[in-house]
Amino acid sequence: MKTSRSEFKWLQTVLNLLFPQNCIFCSGDRREGGEYLCRTCFNDIGLIHSPICFICGVPADISYDFPQDEFVCGVCRQSPYTFDRARSLGHYDTVLRQLIHHFKYQKQLGVLSDIDCLLEKYFSEYKKEYSGLTVSPIPLHFNKMRERGFDQAFLLARQVARVLHAPLESALLKRVAVTSAQATKTKSERAQNIKGAFEINRPEWVAGKNVLLVDDVFTTGATANEAAKILKKAGAGKVYIFTLGRVVVGKGLDR
Ligand SMILES: [Zn+2]
Ligand SMILES: [Zn+2]
């Protein structure tokens, strides 16, 4: 049987989807890199380093903030968050954003393995800060999960718990309301939009626990803060937030 050109092309597309050969960011050859990223793009992931705000983790503007130890940013001083601390692995722009999109919207769950070494490195550096925490995802609404087929925050939380050797509790919170898209909303609109979106599954699972909530992206912190409020109301001790990506004002705000 002769294979026509269009059939060949189709086959190639399928094979590329199954076994991607090119870097998902630059389309270059990734043989030297990971499963999804080439070496150059991997090295281009913009990790977040100190100085950062001690509370929300936003990188300090060194020409303006004069950051010292336990520096607190203007946003945290003006309207304090309920969570105790938020940290992110890297900037949600360029490479990390593409990686998260691939993970979330294209269901390429394997992309997480490409950044596993970064998570290992991050958590081994800050091991002390994260000791004694129970890891839990910021949950998706059931309908959304059904539509998407998986819960990205749960998969991330599972990975973080594994790296930290910490207990994972997947159901401390449940999402009871489907919220409209947050992308075009301001910080206060986001806070209003997310209000009442979470409930506690069982108060006895939460009381007295120090929790590390995990999500893919931190934009204004409205979602993380609402989840923290509900946990604290139910008697949680400390609530820390960890996300893969962090939107820094003016950079990649598309959520
Ligand atoms: Zn690349
Ligand atoms: Zn801050």
52 assigned to some structural domain: no
Question: Would you state the pLDDT for residue 140?
Answer: 83
Looking at the structure of the chain, the number of domains it has is 2
Query: What is the C-alpha separation between 70 and 51, in angstroms, rounded?
Result: 9
Ligand in closest contact with the CA of 22: 1
Question: Would you state the pLDDT for residue 44?
Answer: 93
What's the CATH number where 147 sits? 3.40.50.2020
Pairing of β 173-175 and β 134-137: unpaired
Comparing CA positions, the residue from 126, 116, 147, 140 lying closest to residue 37 is 116
Instruction: Report the run of H or E that residue 215 belongs to, with start and end.
Output: strand 211-218
Ligand in closest contact with the CA of 249: 2
59 assigned to some structural domain: no
203 assigned to some structural domain: yes
Question: Would you state the pLDDT for residue 135?
Answer: 97
The CB density around residue 147, as the number of other CB atoms within 10 Å, is 9
253 assigned to some structural domain: no
Alpha carbon of 102 to ligand 1 centroid (Å): 14
Domain that holds residue 171: 82-246
Query: What is the C-alpha separation between 234 and 248, in angstroms, rounded?
Result: 31
Residues by chain with Cβ below 5 Å of ion ligand 1:
23, 25-26, 28, 38, 41
Ligand in closest contact with the CA of 98: 1
Ligand in closest contact with the CA of 42: 1
Ligand in closest contact with the CA of 74: 2
Question: Would you state the pLDDT for residue 80?
Answer: 93
Alpha carbon of 195 to ligand 2 centroid (Å): 21
Alpha carbon of 91 to ligand 2 centroid (Å): 15
Hey, which residues does 85 pair with through a beta bridge? Answer: 240
- The structure tokens listed for 144 are 């959304």
- The structure tokens listed for 77 are 């001083």
- 8 A C-beta contact, residue 4 and residue 81: no
Query: What is the C-alpha separation between 87 and 70, in angstroms, rounded?
Result: 14
How far CA 177 is from CA of 37, 140, 180, in Å, comes to 36, 10, 10
Alpha carbon of 36 to ligand 1 centroid (Å): 8
Q: Are residues 87 and 190 in the same domain?
A: yes
Query: What is the C-alpha separation between 131 and 183, in angstroms, rounded?
Result: 33
Q: Are residues 90 and 203 in the same domain?
A: yes
66 assigned to some structural domain: no
Alpha carbon of 202 to ligand 2 centroid (Å): 31
Alpha carbon of 191 to ligand 2 centroid (Å): 16
Query: What is the C-alpha separation between 160 and 243, in angstroms, rounded?
Result: 10
What pTM did the predictor assign? 0.86
Alpha carbon of 43 to ligand 1 centroid (Å): 9
Alpha carbon of 60 to ligand 2 centroid (Å): 9
Ligand in closest contact with the CA of 52: 2
- The structure tokens listed for 79 are 């309207």
Question: Would you state the pLDDT for residue 224?
Answer: 95
Q: What Rg value do the Cα atoms of the chain yield, rounded?
A: 20
Ligand in closest contact with the CA of 86: 2
pLDDT truncated to tens, each residue of the chain (255 aa)?
555 667 766 776 676 666 657 899 999 888 778 889 999 999 999 999 988 999 999 998 766 666 677 889 989 999 899 999 999 999 998 899 999 999 888 888 888 889 999 999 999 999 899 999 999 999 987 777 777 777 889 999 999 999 999 999 998 999 887 777 766 777 788 888 888 889 999 899 999 999 999 999 999 999 999 999 999 999 999 999 999 999 987 443 433
List, in order, residues 6 or more apart from 46 with CB less than 8 Å away.
Answer: 90, 91, 93, 94, 95, 96
Question: Would you state the pLDDT for residue 19?
Answer: 64
Question: Would you state the pLDDT for residue 9?
Answer: 64
